[in-house]
C-alpha cells in the first residue's frame, strides 16, 4: 500500500464518523431504527478497522505524520495542522472505536434513539475522540475536546423526563466549559511565549527558553482544564451527577474512555512540548500529580463504597481509578506510562462491562438501587455472574489485564522508592472492587443488610422503549462477555504488554517525536521488555482481591461488626455533603483547585 | 515597567473571574448562561491582546494596505473565531436545558435543583 | 497603548462586571448585548474586523435572541 | 455549602488565582510587542500560495482548515442536541392543539409587514454579501451565515408563526445544515484522494483580489455559509416554537 494513502488514514478515521453523523441527521423522522443502527455500526466498524491498521502500521514503521492541506513546515516552522500517529495514539483511537462499537450494539435493542439523533451524537463523539487522540496540534486538540463536550452535554440530557437528569447535564456543561476556558487560557499564554501551536514546534521553542512564570502558569491552566474532564479532585464533581442520569451506553463511554482521554492529553502535551523545559524539574510536577492522584483515588473509593445507586457507585470507582492513572503518569517515566496505558485499556473494558450489566438490571427490574435489586439478580444469572466477575477483575485479580498493569505500576513505583504508594493503591483497588462486589453479592444472593442510608427506594424508568424486558436479550449479554474476554486476553497474551512497553518508550521520547513531525524521519520502535509479573506484585494483587471480598462482606454484614470498628464511616458524611449537586459549589471548588495547583507549581518550579 | 502594557491581560483575567463569580452567585439558570458567556469572552480578549502589534494594520490586504505591510497576528483571530462558535453552541445547549427544566419543575433556580443526592 | 484602546479595555472590564452584577433578567440581557457591542468595538480597534463581525452576529444578535426567547419561556422577568 | 461560605471560598481562591495569573502575564511579551516566526510565515505564505487577501479566511478554510472542520461539527452537534432536547420533550408532553395565529396582531398591518419583509431581505442580502466577499474583505461563511440565519427572526416579526413554519421548515433546514457539514468532510476526503493531503487545495487559485480566489477556500466558504445559516435558522425556529407553545398553554 502506498505511503500517501497510509498517511491519509488518520484523517479519514476522523472524517468518516463525522460524515456518517451528517448523513443520518436529516432522516430523524423517517429513518428506521434498523437502518440507523446499521449505518452507525458500519461506520464504527470502519473506524475500528482503520485505527487498528494505524496501530499495526505505526508499530512496525514508526510514527505516521500527515500535514493537513499539505501545509508542510517551511524553513523549520510548522504552518499547518499535523496528525502525528504513534502506537499509543493509534491504540487509544482503536480502543475508542471499540467502545463506541459496543455502545452502538447496546443501542440496537435498548435505549430510545429519538429518531436517529442518539446515533448522530454518538458518531460525532467518536469522530471527536479519534481526532483528539491522533492530532499533534495543541489548538486542534482543544477543538476536538470541545466537540466531545458538546456531544457529551447532549448525550447526557437524553433522558429528560426528570429534572435531575437535566441538572446533571447542566453541571457537566458548566464545569466542562470552564475547563475548556482554562485550557484555552493556557494555550494563549503558551502561544504568547512561543508563537507556535504545533506540539513539536512548541517543544523546540521551549528548549531555547528559560522557565518563567508564564510557562508555569500555562502548564497549570492546561493541567487544571484537562483535569476537569479527567475527573481529578477537586474538579471531579460533575462526573457522578452526569453518570447517574446518562443512558447506559453513554456512561460506558464517559467512564471507559472520555475521562482517560483527558489524562492522555495532559501526558501528550507534557511529553510533546513542556518536557523540553520541565524535564529537570520533573519531581516537583510529579509530586503534585502523585499528591492529587492519591487524594482522588482515596476519595473516589470511599465515595464509591458509600453509594448504593449502581451507576453512581461505578462513577466514583472511575474517579478513584482516574486518581491512580494520574499518580502513575506523575512518574513521567516510560514504564509508568506503559503501565497507565494498559491500565486504562483494562479498566475501560471491565468498567464498560459492569455498566452494561447495570443497564441490564435497570431494563429488567426497573431499578439501579442496590437495596431494591437485592436478591433479584438470580432471575438474570448470566448477567449477575458477569457483574461479579467484573468486580473481581477490578480488584486486580490475575490473570485479568488490570493485574498486569498493576504489576508494572508497582515496579515503576518501586524504582522510585515509592513502594508505599503501591500498597496504598492496592488498598484503593480493594475498596473499589469491594463496593462493586458488595452490590453484586447483595443483588445476586440477597445476603446481608444493604446499606441503611435512610433514603426511600426509587423506581426508575427502564431505557428500553415500552415496558421492561422479560428476559435479557443476547446483545446485552454478548457485549459484557466480549469485553471481559478481551480484558482477560490483554492480561494473558505476552505480546500485548511487550508492544505497550515499546509504545510507552516512543511516547516519552520528545526527540524522536520532533524528528518525525518536523524532520520527516520516523524511527522504528525501540525494543523493550521487562518481566511481566513478579512474585511480590502477584501476592499484592491476590491479597487486594482477598481484601476486596472481605470489604464487600464487611459491608453486607456491617450490623455484626463491633461498634468500635465503625469509626471509618465518619468521614462519609462530610464527603457526601461536598457533592451537593449544585454547579455553583462546583465552580467554587474549581477555583480552589486552580489556585492550589497554580501555587504549587509556581512555588515548586524555578521562576 | 510600563503597567499599562499588561492592562489588557489583567482585563481578560478580571472578566474571567467575574464570569465565575456570576456562576457562583446565580439564582437563575439564564443568568448562568450569561455569566458563562462573559467568562468565555475573557478568552477572546486574551487571545487578541496577545496577538496585537503596534504600528501594524489588519491582516487583510487591499490596494491601500498592500501585501507585505506589517499586520497583527492573524492566527489568534482565526482561533478566536472558532472559540466564538463554541461559545454560542454551549449557550444554546444550556438554554435549551433550562427550558426543559422549567417545563418539568417550573423553576430555574439552581439552588433548588439538585440531582437526587444520596 | 493608545488612548482609544485604553478606554475600550477599561469599559469592557466595567461593563463585563455590570453584566454579572445586574439583578433583573431583562436589564441583564440588555447590558449583555451592550457588552457584546463593546467587545466588537474593541476587536475592531485591535485590527480584528473578522472577529468583530462574528461577535456582532453572535454576541449581539443570535445569543441575545435565544436568551430572550428562553426568558419569555421561563418567565424570567419579562 | 451555604451561599455565604461558598462566596467566601470562591472569593479567596479567585484572588489568589488572579494574582498568580497577573504575575504570570508579566513574563509575556508586553501588549503590542508580539511577533514570531509562525505569524510571519503565515502572513507571507497565505497571500503568496493561496491568492487570498483576507488572511484569517485563508487560515480558517485552508491553513488550519481542519480546526474549522471540528468547529463546524461542534455547531452541527449542538443543533442536533437542541433538537434532541426539544423533540424528546414533544414526545413527553401531551399533543399540542392545532397551532393558531396568535400574538402577532401588532404585525398584522400591511405596512409593518412590508417593512419587516424589507428588513429581512436586507439582512439576508447583507449575510450573503459578507460571506461571498470572505476572501477579500472582513467576513466569511461563518459571519455571513450567522447574519443570514438571524434574518428568520424578522420573518417571525413580520409574518407571525405560521409563515415561520414554512420559512423555517425544520426537516428542510436540518437537511441543509447536515449537507453543509457533510460536504466539508467530503471535500476533505476527495481532495485527500486527489492531492494526497486531506483538505489539500487543488482547484485553480484565481487571481489575488478577485472574488473567486483561493481555490477550495471559496467552496468550503460556501458550504460553511450553508451550514451556519441553516443551523441558525433551525436553532432560532426551535426556540421560537417553544415560545409559541407557551403562548398556547396560556390561552
A411 in Cβ contact with A537 (< 8 Å): yes
Q: What's the rounded Cα separation, in Å, for the pair A475 and A483?
A: 12
The DSSP code for D33 is B
Range of the domain at A374: 3-604
Dump pLDDT digits (tens) for D171-230: 888 889 999 999 999 999 998 888 888 888 766 555 555 555 567 888 899 999 999 999
Tell me the backbone φ, ψ of residue A342, rounded to 5 degrees. -65, -40
Split into its structural domains, chain D has a count of: 1
pLDDT band at residue D90, thresholds of 50, 70 and 90?
low
pLDDT at A30 over 80: no
- In this structure, of A65-69, B106-110, D135-139, the range with the lowest mean pLDDT score is B106-110
Tell me, what's the pLDDT at A455?
44
Q: What's the rounded Cα separation, in Å, for the pair A216 and A226?
A: 16
Dump pLDDT digits (tens) for D13-58: 999 999 999 999 998 988 988 888 888 888 888 777 777 788 888 8
Distance from CA of D147 to the nearest CA of C (A): 6
Dump pLDDT digits (tens) for D150-183: 888 777 777 666 666 665 567 888 889 999 999 9
Identify all chain C residues contacting B22, using CB atoms and an 8 Å cutoff: 19-20
- Give, to the nearest 10 degrees, the angle between helix C25-45 and helix B29-51: 10
Burial pattern A574-604, b for ≥16 Cβ within 10 A else e, equals eebeebbbbbbbbbbbbbbbbbbbbbbbbee
Tell me, what's the pLDDT at C76?
53
Tell me, what's the pLDDT at D223?
93
Query: Which residue, A127, A101, A589, is CA-closest to D188?
Result: A127
Q: What's the rounded Cα separation, in Å, for the pair A346 and A338?
A: 12
The DSSP code for A528 is -
B104 in Cβ contact with A163 (< 8 Å): yes
Q: Which residue of B has its CA nearest to C60?
A: B88
Most confident of A66-75, A157-166, A363-372, B71-80: B71-80
pLDDT at D74 over 50: yes
Those residues of chain B that have pLDDT short of 70 are 1, 112-118
- Which residue among D57, D140, D243 sits closest to C73, beta carbon to beta carbon? D243
Most confident of A266-280, A444-458, D198-212: A266-280
- Which residue among D3, D29, D64 sits closest to B78, beta carbon to beta carbon? D64
Q: What's the rounded Cα separation, in Å, for the pair A598 and D15?
A: 12
Judged by phi (left if over 0) then psi (alpha if -120 to 50, else beta), residue A452 lies in beta
Domain membership of residue D24 (yes or no) is no
Asked if the Cβ–Cβ distance from B42 to A181 is below 8 Å, we say yes
A189 in Cβ contact with A206 (< 8 Å): no
Whether the upstream peptide bond of residue A472 has omega within 30° of 0, thus cis, is no
Tell me, what's the pLDDT at B41?
95
Identify all chain D residues contacting B45, using CB atoms and an 8 Å cutoff: none
Domain membership of residue D22 (yes or no) is no
- Which residue among B52, B61, B88 sits closest to D53, beta carbon to beta carbon? B61
Distance from CA of D5 to the nearest CA of B (A): 11
Dump pLDDT digits (tens) for A174-232: 999 999 999 999 999 999 999 999 999 999 999 998 999 999 999 999 999 999 999 99
A497 in Cβ contact with A76 (< 8 Å): no
pTM of the complete model: 0.93
Domain membership of residue D29 (yes or no) is no
Identify all chain D residues contacting B90, using CB atoms and an 8 Å cutoff: 78
Q: Which residue of B has its CA nearest to C21?
A: B22
pLDDT at A593 over 90: yes
Identify all chain C residues contacting B92, using CB atoms and an 8 Å cutoff: 63, 66
Is residue B53 classed as helix, strand or coil in its secondary structure? strand
A548 in Cβ contact with A433 (< 8 Å): yes
Domain membership of residue D25 (yes or no) is no
Tell me, what's the pLDDT at A2?
73
Tell me, what's the pLDDT at B1?
57
Range of the domain at C21: 3-74
- Which residue among A184, A244, A453 sits closest to B115, beta carbon to beta carbon? A244
pLDDT band at residue A65, thresholds of 50, 70 and 90?
very high
Tell me, what's the pLDDT at D98?
39
- Which residue among D70, D189, D195 sits closest to A12, beta carbon to beta carbon? D189
* Mean pLDDT for the stretch of residues A397-426: 89
* Mean pLDDT for the stretch of residues D2-15: 93
Dump pLDDT digits (tens) for A541-568: 888 899 999 988 888 887 666 655 555 5
Identify all chain D residues contacting B10, using CB atoms and an 8 Å cutoff: 22, 25
pLDDT at A267 over 80: yes
Q: Which residue of D has its CA nearest to B61?
A: D53
Chains with 3+ CB–CB pairs under 8 A to C are B, D
Q: Which of residues 80-99 of B touch D (CB under 8 A)?
A: 81-82, 85-86, 88-90, 92-93, 95-97, 99
Q: Which residue of A has its CA nearest to B107?
A: A163
Identify all chain D residues contacting C70, using CB atoms and an 8 Å cutoff: 239
Domain membership of residue D49 (yes or no) is no
Interchain contact B/D (3 or more Cβ pairs less than 8 Å): yes
Tell me, what's the pLDDT at B62?
79
Range of the domain at D203: 54-250
Distance from CA of A258 to the nearest CA of D (A): 17
Tell me, what's the pLDDT at D9?
95
- Give, to the nearest 10 degrees, the angle between helix A583-604 and helix A163-194: 30
- Cα distances from C3 to residues A99, B70, C6, C9, C39, in angstroms, run 56, 21, 5, 10, 16
Split into its structural domains, chain A has a count of: 1
Choose, out of D19, D30, D77, the residue to mutate when testing the contact with A (most A CBs < 10 Å).
D77
Dump pLDDT digits (tens) for A274-300: 998 998 999 999 999 999 999 999 999
Identify all chain C residues contacting B37, using CB atoms and an 8 Å cutoff: 32, 59, 63
D74 in Cβ contact with B92 (< 8 Å): no
pLDDT mean across residues, chain A: 88
Q: What's the rounded Cα separation, in Å, for the pair B59 and A312?
A: 51
* Higher-confidence position of A150 and D209: A150
* Mean pLDDT for the stretch of residues A379-388: 92
Split into its structural domains, chain C has a count of: 1
- Which residue among A174, A241, A580 sits closest to B36, beta carbon to beta carbon? A174
Query: Which residue, A176, B27, A597, is CA-closest to D7?
Result: B27
* Mean pLDDT for the stretch of residues A352-377: 87
Domain membership of residue D58 (yes or no) is yes
Tell me, what's the pLDDT at D199?
86
* Distance separating the N- and C-terminal Cα atoms of chain C: 41
Tell me the backbone φ, ψ of residue C75, rounded to 5 degrees. 60, 30
Identify all chain A residues contacting B101, using CB atoms and an 8 Å cutoff: 163, 166-167, 170
Q: Which residue of D has its CA nearest to C49?
A: D138
Tell me, what's the pLDDT at A370?
83
Three-state SS string over D38-98 comes to HHHHHHHHHHHHHCCCEHHHHHHHHHCHHHHHHHHHHHHHHHHHHHHHHHHHHHHCCCCCC
Q: Which of residues 40-59 of B touch D (CB under 8 A)?
A: 49-54, 58-59
Cβ–Cβ pairs < 8 A, chains A and D: 242
- In this structure, of A66-70, A89-93, A302-306, D162-166, the range with the lowest mean pLDDT score is D162-166
A289 in Cβ contact with A327 (< 8 Å): yes
Most confident of A15-19, A412-416, D44-48: A15-19
Amino acid at each position: 500500500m502506498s505511503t500517501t494513502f497510509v498517511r491519509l488514514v488518520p484523517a479519514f478515521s476522523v472524517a468518516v464518523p463525522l460524515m456518517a453523523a451528517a448523513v443520518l441527521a436529516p432522516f430523524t423522522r423517517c429513518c428506521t431504527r434498523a437502518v440507523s443502527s446499521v449505518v452507525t455500526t458500519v461506520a464504527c466498524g470502519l473506524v475500528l478497522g482503520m485505527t487498528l491498521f494505524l496501530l499495526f502500521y505505526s508499530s512496525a514503521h514508526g510514527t505516521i505524520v500527515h500535514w493537513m492541506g499539505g501545509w508542510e513546515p517551511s524553513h523549520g516552522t510548522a504552518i499547518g495542522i499535523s496528525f502525528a500517529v504513534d502506537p499509543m495514539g493509534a491504540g487509544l483511537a482503536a480502543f475508542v472505536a471499540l467502545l463506541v462499537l459496543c455502545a452502538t450494539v447496546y443501542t440496537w435493542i435498548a435505549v430510545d434513539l429519538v429518531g436517529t439523533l442518539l446515533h448522530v451524537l454518538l458518531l460525532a463523539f467518536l469522530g471527536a475522540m479519534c481526532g483528539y487522540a491522533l492530532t499533534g496540534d495543541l489548538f486542534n486538540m482543544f477543538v476536538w475536546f470541545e466537540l466531545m463536550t458538546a456531544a457529551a452535554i447532549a448525550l447526557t440530557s437524553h433522558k429528560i423526563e426528570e429534572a435531575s437528569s437535566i441538572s446533571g447535564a447542566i453541571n457537566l456543561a458548566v464545569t466542562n466549559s470552564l475547563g475548556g476556558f482554562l485550557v484555552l487560557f493556557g494555550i494563549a499564554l503558551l502561544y504568547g511565549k512561543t508563537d507556535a501551536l504545533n506540539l513539536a514546534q512548541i517543544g523546540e521553542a521551549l528548549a531555547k527558553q528559560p522557565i518563567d512564570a508564564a510557562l508555569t502558569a500555562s502548564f497549570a491552566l492546561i493541567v487544571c482544564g484537562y483535569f476537569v474532564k479527567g475527573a481529578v479532585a477537586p474538579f471531579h464533581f460533575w462526573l457522578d451527577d452526569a453518570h447517574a442520569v446518562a443512558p447506559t451506553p453513554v456512561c460506558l463511554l464517559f467512564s471507559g474512555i472520555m475521562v482517560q482521554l483527558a489524562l492522555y492529553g495532559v501526558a501528550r502535551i507534557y511529553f510533546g512540548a513542556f518536557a523540553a523545559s520541565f524535564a529537570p524539574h520533573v519531581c516537583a510536577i510529579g509530586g503534585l500529580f502523585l499528591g492529587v492522584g492519591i487524594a482522588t483515588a482515596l476519595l473516589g473509593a470511599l465515595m464509591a463504597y458509600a453509594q448504593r445507586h449502581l451507576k453512581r457507585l461505578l462513577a466514583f470507582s472511575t474517579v478513584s481509578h482516574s486518581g491512580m492513572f494520574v499518580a502513575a503518569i506523575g512518574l513521567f517515566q516510560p514504564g509508568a506510562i506503559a503501565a497507565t496505558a494498559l491500565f486504562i485499556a483494562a479498566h475501560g473494558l471491565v468498567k464498560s462491562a459492569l455498566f452494561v450489566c447495570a443497564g441490564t438490571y435497570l431494563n429488567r427490574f426497573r431499578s439501579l438501587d442496590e437495596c431494591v435489586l437485592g436478591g433479584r439478580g438470580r432471575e438474570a444469572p448470566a448477567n449477575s455472574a458477569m457483574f461479579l466477575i467484573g468486580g473481581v477483575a477490578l480488584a486486580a485479580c490475575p490473570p485479568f489485564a488490570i493485574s498486569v498493569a498493576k504489576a508494572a505500576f508497582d515496579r515503576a513505583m518501586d524504582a522510585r522508592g515509592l513502594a508505599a504508594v503501591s500498597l496504598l493503591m492496592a488498598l484503593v483497588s480493594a475498596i473499589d472492587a469491594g463496593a462493586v462486589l458488595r452490590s453484586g453479592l447483595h443483588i445476586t444472593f440477597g445476603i446481608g443488610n444493604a446499606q441503611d442510608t435512610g433514603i426511600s427506594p426509587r423506581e426508575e424508568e427502564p431505557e428500553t422503549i415500552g415496558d421492561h424486558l422479560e428476559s435479557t436479550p443476547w446483545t446485552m449479554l454478548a457485549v459484557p462477555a466480549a469485553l471481559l474476554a478481551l480484558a482477560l486476553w490483554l492480561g494473558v497474551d505476552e505480546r500485548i504488554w511487550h508492544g505497550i512497553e515499546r509504545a510507552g518508550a516512543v511516547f516519552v521520547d520528545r526527540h524522536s517525536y520532533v524528528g518525525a513531525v518536523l524532520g520527516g524521519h520516523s524511527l522504528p520502535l525501540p525494543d523493550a521488555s521487562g518481566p511481566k509479573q513478579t512474585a511480590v506484585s502477584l501476592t499484592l494483587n491476590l491479597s487486594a482481591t482477598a481484601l476486596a471480598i472481605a470489604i464487600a462482606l464487611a459491608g453486607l454484614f456491617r450490623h455484626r461488626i463491633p461498634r468500635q470498628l465503625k469509626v471509618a464511616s465518619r468521614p462519609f458524611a462530610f464527603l457526601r455533603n461536598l457533592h451537593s449537586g449544585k454547579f455553583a459549589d462546583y465552580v467554587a471548588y474549581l477555583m480552589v483547585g486552580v489556585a492550589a495547583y497554580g501555587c504549587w507549581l509556581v512555588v515548586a518550579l524555578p521562576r | 515597567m510600563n503597567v499599562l502594557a499588561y492592562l489588557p491581560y489583567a482585563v481578560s483575567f478580571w472578566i474571567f473571574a467575574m464570569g465565575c463569580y456570576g456562576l457562583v452567585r446565580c439564582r437563575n439558570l439564564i443568568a448562568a448562561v450569561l455569566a458563562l458567556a462573559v467568562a468565555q469572552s475573557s478568552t477572546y480578549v486574551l487571545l487578541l491582546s496577545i496577538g496585537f502589534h503596534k504600528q501594524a494594520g489588519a491582516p487583510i490586504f487591499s490596494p491601500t494596505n498592500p501585501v507585505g505591510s506589517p499586520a497583527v497576528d492573524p492566527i489568534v483571530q482565526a482561533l478566536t473565531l472558532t472559540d466564538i462558535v463554541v461559545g454560542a453552541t454551549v449557550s444554546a445547549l444550556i438554554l435549551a436545558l433550562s427550558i426543559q427544566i422549567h417545563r418539568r419543575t417550573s423553576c430555574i433556580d439552581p439552588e433548588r435543583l439538585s440531582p437526587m443526592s444520596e | 497603548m493608545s488612548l482609544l484602546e485604553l478606554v475600550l479595555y477599561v469599559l469592557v472590564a466595567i461593563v463585563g462586571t455590570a453584566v454579572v452584577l445586574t439583578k433583573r433578567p431583562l436589564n441583564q440581557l440588555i447590558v449583555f448585548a451592550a457588552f457584546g457591542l463593546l467587545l466588537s468595538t474593541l476587536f475592531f480597534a485591535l485590527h480584528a474586523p473578522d472577529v468583530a463581525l462574528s461577535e456582532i452576529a453572535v454576541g449581539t444578535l443570535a445569543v441575545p435572541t435565544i436568551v430572550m426567547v428562553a426568558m419569555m419561556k421561563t418567565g424570567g422577568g419579562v | 455549602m451555604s451561599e455565604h461560605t461558598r462566596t467566601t471560598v470562591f472569593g479567596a481562591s479567585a484572588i489568589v488565582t488572579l494574582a498568580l495569573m497577573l504575575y504570570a502575564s508579566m513574563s509575556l511579551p508586553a501588549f503590542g510587542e508580539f511577533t514570531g516566526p509562525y505569524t510571519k510565515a503565515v502572513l507571507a505564505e497565505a497571500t503568496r500560495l493561496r491568492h487570498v487577501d483576507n488572511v484569517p479566511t485563508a487560515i480558517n478554510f485552508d491553513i488550519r482548515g481542519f480546526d474549522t472542520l471540528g468547529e463546524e461539527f461542534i455547531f452541527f452537534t449542538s443543533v442536533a442536541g437542541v433538537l434532541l432536547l426539544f423533540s424528546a420533550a414533544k414526545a413527553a408532553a401531551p399533543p399540542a392543539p392545532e397551532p393558531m395565529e396568535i400574538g402577532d396582531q401588532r404585525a398584522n398591518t400591511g405596512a409593518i409587514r412590508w417593512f419587516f419583509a424589507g428588513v429581512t431581505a436586507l439582512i439576508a442580502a447583507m449575510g450573503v454579501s459578507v460571506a461571498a466577499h470572505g476572501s477579500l474583505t472582513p467576513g466569511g461563511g461563518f459571519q455571513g451565515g450567522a447574519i443570514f440565519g438571524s434574518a428568520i427572526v424578522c420573518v417571525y416579526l413580520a409574518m407571525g408563526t405560521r409563515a415561520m413554519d414554512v420559512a423555517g421548515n425544520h426537516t428542510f433546514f436540518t437537511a441543509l445544515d447536515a449537507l453543509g457539514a457533510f460536504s466539508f468532510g467530503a471535500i476533505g476526503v476527495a481532495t485527500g484522494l486527489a492531492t494526497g493531503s486531506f483538505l489539500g487545495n487543488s482547484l485553480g487559485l484565481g487571481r489575488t483580489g478577485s472574488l473567486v480566489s483561493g481555490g477550495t477556500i471559496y467552496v468550503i466558504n460556501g458550504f460553511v455559509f450553508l451550514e451556519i445559516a441553516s443551523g441558525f435558522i433551525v436553532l432560532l425556529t426551535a426556540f421560537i416554537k417553544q415560545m409559541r407553545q407557551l403562548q398556547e398553554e396560556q390561552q
